Structure 1
Amino acid sequence: MDRLREIAASFVAPGPTGVAIRDSLKCLTGQDQRVLRLVGGLLGSLASRDLKARCATRLYHDTDQWAQRKRALTGQSSSRWAGSITKATHDQWALARRGQLAYIQNLQADIDMIARRLSLPVGVKGSKGSPGGYRSRQEWFAKSRRLHLLQDRLQRERADREAGRVRVVRGGRKLLRNRHNIQTAQLTEAKWRMRWEAERWFLQADGESGKRYGNETIRVSPDGEVSIKLPAPLAGLANAPHGRYVLACRIGFRHRGQQWADRVQTNRAVAYRIHFDVGRDRWYLTASWQIPPVRTIPLDAVRSGGLIGVDTNADHLAAWRLDAHGNPVGEPRRFDYHLSGSAPHRDAQVRHALICLLHWAKRHRLAIAIEDLDFTTEKTREKRGRRKRFRQLVSSMPVGRLRSRLVSMAAELGIAIVAVDPAYTSRWGAQHWQRPLTTRTRKTTRHDAAAVAIGRRALGCPIRRRTQPPPPHRSDVVGHRTVQAASDIPGREETRPRIPGPQRRSVGAGRGAKAGDQCAHNRSGHTAERESWHQDSLPLSP
């Protein structure tokens, strides 16, 4: 029997700590685009140089070296541009370190899985949750070679991490590799060069409270006027006092525009980023700021009125409403999304499904229970063996993006999100709820039953159904109960002791060990009948 892992406690997910909004810069003149390209190219070259200096210091970086890097950039740009560049490059280096650690953990997981399967005989079937041995000697030999390759790769990565060495590409490694496969990426050299330069531009500045409109480097007034503080080498392009360049267009944020205007009018910090989308040939401005964390509602208060259990799948969200006692109410709901096409299209599909779910929850004034999924270890190549389609299915699920968007969107509507442990929800939901909830007019799917299991776990109820009423008598005519008493409760129902003799159907009359005993045929006087067995009463489990 497989040992079940410990189920983590449910908790109310904390709200977001930041806000980001975006709008396009329309009606830019040729001179505006020229200035933005020059400023982005100059600051991008400085950012590349600073990133190289930051990677060279490795783990021996301190505040003095940070100040030295900033002084080296200040003369070629400005003090505020230099501060934004040094902070961005340090964050990029830290991100590369976290990615390096995650890669090492994935390599170790692959090595452990291959070593385990190599230790098993060829052709041995696996048990629940773990694959067995390899199917053939050829596959076993190929995996043994791959094991040595992964071990060498893991040794190099660990040596790099101990030395503080990271490998970072400004502009993205994927785009860099596309340069050697332009035809496969369906790009021309000119288009690739334009996209490569646009990704390496640097046009972002952190906000500063107390300064005019919350940012001195990229300033946006409440009426939408955008002005940029030009670096020292490009000060001759200024069209406004104090070395600033004012764009000809004006911007107005439709989403959270009033919140942004309130911060700008009170001179609170707002960070801005200007970037160019090569595919759409448009310039965009992104504004972001920090918000105080949303006060978390106690879990008991969330459970008081029931909630909605949601099961996350690769192409839809399965949801079912539950009352405070864990009973399904109404009909199950399904919110579809198609993860195909471009990244903006996939993101729009996820947002549309979440909006429909949140509007349904707001209409009934209920919280939402969702699995605290993390497929970091599930995406490894060796986890599922030859099940390539299943690995692609797991990898395609937008777990991180869906969770972050759901939390941020629910916080705006005042809806609490309860995260539960995803262990065994699909299996136990299908076992205990799929068949009872299926009727002639409703076909309950496995995902619908999993949504019920997720909701019951968030409510603190067991996934199994409630105990049936006690039978009118102690015989087994009425059948067994759905929930048995715990093993430590005295007087619980146990297995009946086996009494040998002709009473058992397995031993016929006149046969067995007592076939020659004439006393055994006397039912009223036999000693075995005098030793009657009595079953104690069965207490109901709580």
Structure 2
Amino acid sequence: MGGLREVAAPFVVPGPSGVAVRDRLKHLTAEDEKVLRLVGDHLGALASRDLKARCAAGLDHDTDRWAERKRALTEESSSRWAGSITKATHDQWALARRGQHAHIQSLEAGVRTLAHRLSLPVEEKGSKRAPGGYRSKREWFAKTRRLHVLADRLEVTRADREAGVVHVVRGGKRLLNTRHHLDAAQLTEQQWHTRWQAGRRFLQADGESGKRFGNETIRVTPDGEVSLKLPAPLAHLANAPHSRYVLATRVAFAHRGEQWRDRITHNRAVAYRIHEDVLRGRWYLTASWTIPPVKTVPLATARTSGLIGVDTNADHLAAWRLDPHGNPIGEPLRFGYDLTGTAAHRDAQVRHALIRLLHWAKRHGLAIAIEDLDFQAEKTREKHGRRKKFRRLISGMPVSRLRARLVSMTAELGIPMVAVDPAYTSKWGAQHWQKPLTTSKCKTTRHAAAAVAIGRRALGHPIRRRTAPPPHDRSDRVGHRTVQAEPGASGREGSRPRIPGPRTRSVRAGCGANAGDQDAQHRSGRPAEHEFWQQDSLPLSL
């Protein structure tokens, strides 16, 4: 047990801090689309220039440089557009810094693994906790070159981080690299250029509390009218007073529409973003706002009625209901999803599986226990070597997407969610629960057993079913054999049930005079052992 890592304590996951809803901008005229593209291209050019200035400043950036950047942008747009652009630039730079830190950690893990395996003799066998040597001298030589490559990358990335240098591509690095592989992507140069332009446009504005309808830059009225403030160079395109352009469309948010309407009616801040889906030829409007933190219930309250343990897999969710003492109830359920196809299809599959899971939990008034998974350090080929199938398996798990969806959906339904440490849940679940829960009619899978282990850890119980038997004898002086019963559970301590007959082989048990009196029986730890004892004298008549 000394080699096992410490398992973190379970905790109740806090709710989301913001809300985003989307609606399609239908029935736009050709003039509307032209104006949106012109405004987006103009503001996108300003955003690219501002991002370049922010990256050049690096760690020396301060409020004075921020004010200088904003003044330069205001001259070519407006004060509010300039504020939205600079804020988006700061967020993008901070995101790049976090990604850079994660990349350094991944490189460090790869260098450590390679150095360890190269230090071992060829064909040295590994253990469960540490990999062995490489299979051949050829592979060993190739890995020495790989080690030098990763070490050089690590040195360069560390130097960039210390200097405050980040590398950001507006529009996306993946789409930029697609330009060199148009045949493989089945795109023409014009189609790629259209996507590239759409990805680099900037049409988003932050909300302002106290202003009319919560946003002066992109304004949406309660009846769905959408208008935007045109930048100064494009003010001649306005079709409404005060350099505004009103779109020939109406929006009505089907999801959370009442919440959105309540906010803009009371002039509370709402941020908007307009973007074009080039593949479908559609335009969308996304509204977002912050919400106060949802007060989570205490962990003891979430455990009151038991919960549902959920094991996340590449193609399904395995779930099993547990009572407060950690005992599985009923049969396990499986909620499958298909993660092939487009991103929209994958997202819909995950949502459908979560909806069925949450409806089950809501129907029984139970909390949900799930692993706090993070596979960022587990996907490297240095750690898993030739196990490409396993690497694809863990890479295909929708961890971040499922976690974000589940947090928001549980908060909306008022279902507590408990996160547990994922260490050893699959291994110990299969070891202690898979075989005992398997019957002739139902074969328990490894994933269902892992769901039981997750639920027991969330409830605060050990994963194994029973403690070791008493080491001295069959009495209970060293503790109770089972870990399911709490100290105050009814019937945990007490006399045995009265069964007619004495405890002998010839006569049925339970018929003796002291069958229900434990103190009268000479058992270890009972008062009869500690009473004063004196032998009576023999009668003189004998």
Q: Which amino acid aligns with 2:36?
A: L
Q: Is the 8 A contact 1:131 1:385 kept in 2?
A: no
1:10 is aligned to: 10
Q: Kindly tell me: are residues 473 and 179 of structure 1, through their superposed partners in 2, closer, same or farther at Cα, counting changes over 3 Å?
A: closer
Q: Cα gap change, 1:241/1:474 in structure 2, threshold over 3 Å: closer, same or farther?
A: closer
> Offset at 1:401?
1.1
Q: Give SS of 2:228's match.
A: strand
Relative distance call for 1:91 and 1:423 in structure 2 (3 A) is: same
SS of 1:183's equivalent in the other structure is helix
Moved more, 123-132 or 441-450: 123-132
Equivalent residue, structure 2, for 1:129: 129
Corresponding letter in the other structure for 1:297: V
Q: Which residue of 2 aligns with 1:523?
A: none
What do the CA deviations read for 1:360-386 (whole angstroms, capped 9, x no partner)? 000000000000111111112211111
- AA aligned to 1:455 is G
Match of 1:373 in 2: 373
Residue in 2 aligned with 1:174? Answer: 174
Unaligned runs of 5+ in 1: 476-480, 484-535
Alignment correspondent of 1:202? 202
Aligned to 1:455: 455
Report the alpha carbon displacement of residue 466 of structure 1 after superposing the two structures with TM: 3.3
Tell me the distance in 2 between the aligned counterparts of 1:473 and 1:210: 76
Task: Give a deviation string over 1:382-428, Cα, whole Å, max 9, x none.
Answer: 11111011011111111111111101100010000000011111111
Instruction: Indicate if the aligned counterparts of 1:306 and 1:324 stay in contact, CA closer than 8 A.
Output: yes
Deviations 1:439-486 (A, max 9, x none): 0110100000000010001001111113598799769xxxxx889xxx
1:334-383 deviations in Å (ceiling 9; x for gaps): 00011100111111111110000000000000000000111111112211
Give matches, 1:428-507, under 5 Å. 428-467=428-467
SS at structure 2 position matched to 1:228: strand
- CA gap 1:241/1:441 in 2 versus in 1, 3 angstroms: same
What is the one-letter code of the residue matched to 1:432?
H
Counterpart of 2:41? 41
Question: Is the contact made by 1:370 and 1:419 (CA closer than 8 Å) also made in structure 2?
Answer: yes
- 1:175-194 to 2 correspondence within 5 Å? 175-194=175-194
1:426 corresponds to 2:432: no
How many residues align structurally?
482
What does 1:276-425 correspond to in 2, within 5 Å? 276-425=276-425
Instruction: Summarize deviations over 1:295-338 as a string: whole Å, max 9, x none.
Output: 01000111110000000001000000001111100110000011
CA distance in 2, matches of 1:229, 1:43: 12
**Partner Cα separation in structure 2 for residue 281 and residue 474 of structure 1:** 76
SS of residue matched to 1:311: strand
2:256 is matched with 256
TM-score (normalised: structure 2): 0.87
Query: 1:111 aligns to what?
Result: 111
Check 1:231–1:442 CA distance in 2 against 1; reply closer, same or farther (3 A cut): same
CA distance in 2, matches of 1:472, 1:213: 76
Contact 1:13 1:419 (C-alpha < 8 Å) held by counterparts: yes
- Equivalence for 1:143: 143
Name the CA shift for 1:40/1:447 in 2 (closer, same or farther; >3 Å): same
Structure 2 distance, partners of 1:120, 1:244, is 70
SS of the counterpart of 1:287? strand
SS at match of 2:296: coil
- Cα distance in 2, alignment partners of residues 132 and 348 from structure 1: 42
Gap change, CA 1:538 and 1:345, over 3 Å in 2: farther
3-state SS, counterpart of residue 235 of structure 1: helix
Partner Cα distance (2:109, 2:524) in 1? 51
Match of 2:65 in 1: 65
Letter of the 2:109 counterpart: A
Q: How far did residue 2 of structure 1 move?
A: 6.1
| Equivalent pair of 1:274/1:284 in contact (CA under 8 Å) | yes
SS in 2 for 1:317: strand
Counterpart CA distance in 1 for 2:129 and 2:279 is: 44
Q: In 2 relative to 1, CA 472–126 (structure 1 residues): closer, same or farther, beyond 3 Å?
A: closer
User: Once the two structures are superposed, what CA deviation does each residue of 1:144-201 show, in whole Å capped at 9, x if it has no partner?
Assistant: 0111111111111111111111111100000000001111111110100000000000
Call closer, same or farther: CA 1:467–1:168 in 2, change over 3 Å.
Answer: closer
CA distance in 1, matches of 2:450, 2:271: 42
Contact residue 426 and residue 453 of structure 1 kept, 8 A: yes
Distance in structure 1 (CA, Å) of the matches to 2:94 and 2:276: 25
CA spacing shift, 1:118–1:473, aligned 2, 3 Å: closer
Q: Deviations over 1:218-261 (max 9, x none)?
A: 00000000000000011011011100000000000001000000
Secondary structure, aligned partner of 1:362: helix
Go from structure 1 to structure 2 and tell me whether the alpha carbon gap of 1:180 and 1:471 turns closer, same or farther (over 3 Å shift): closer
**Per-residue deviation at 1:101?**
0.9
- Conservation of the 8 A alpha-carbon contact between 1:59 and 1:164: yes
Alpha-carbon distance in structure 1 between the residues aligned to 2:131 and 2:214: 57
The 1-side partners of 2:440 and 2:525 are apart by 35
Partner of 1:85: 85
Q: TM-score scaled to structure 1, two decimals?
A: 0.87
The separation in 2 between residues aligned to 1:472 and 1:372, in whole angstroms, is 41
Q: Which moved more, 1:19-28 or 1:88-97?
A: 88-97
Does residue 223 of structure 1 match 2:223? yes
Amino acid at match of 1:58: G
Identify the range of structure 1 (304-313 vs 91-100) with the bigger mean alpha-carbon deviation.
91-100
The alpha-carbon deviation at position 130 of structure 1 amounts to 2.6
Name the CA distance, whole Å, in 2 between partners of 1:473 and 1:79: 82
- Match of 1:382, SS state, is helix
**Could you tell me which amino acid in structure 2 is paired with residue 452 of structure 1?**
V
Task: Answer whether contact 1:311 1:317 (CA < 8 A) is retained.
Answer: yes
Task: Give the letter for the 2:411 counterpart.
Answer: A
Q: Is the 8 A contact 1:175 1:196 kept in 2?
A: yes
Cα 1:169–1:470, aligned 2, differ >3 Å: closer, same or farther? closer
Secondary structure of the residue that 1:58 maps to in structure 2?
A: helix
| Alpha-carbon distance, 1:129 to partner | 3.2
Deviations 1:93-113 (A, max 9, x none): 111111111111111110000
SS in 1 for 2:34: helix
Structure 1 position 206, deviation (Å): 0.1
Match of 2:495 in 1: none
Are 1:317 and 1:336, in contact at CA under 8 Å, matched by a contact in 2?
yes
Instruction: Mark the CA change 1:387 to 1:537 in structure 2 (over 3 Å): closer, same or farther.
Output: farther
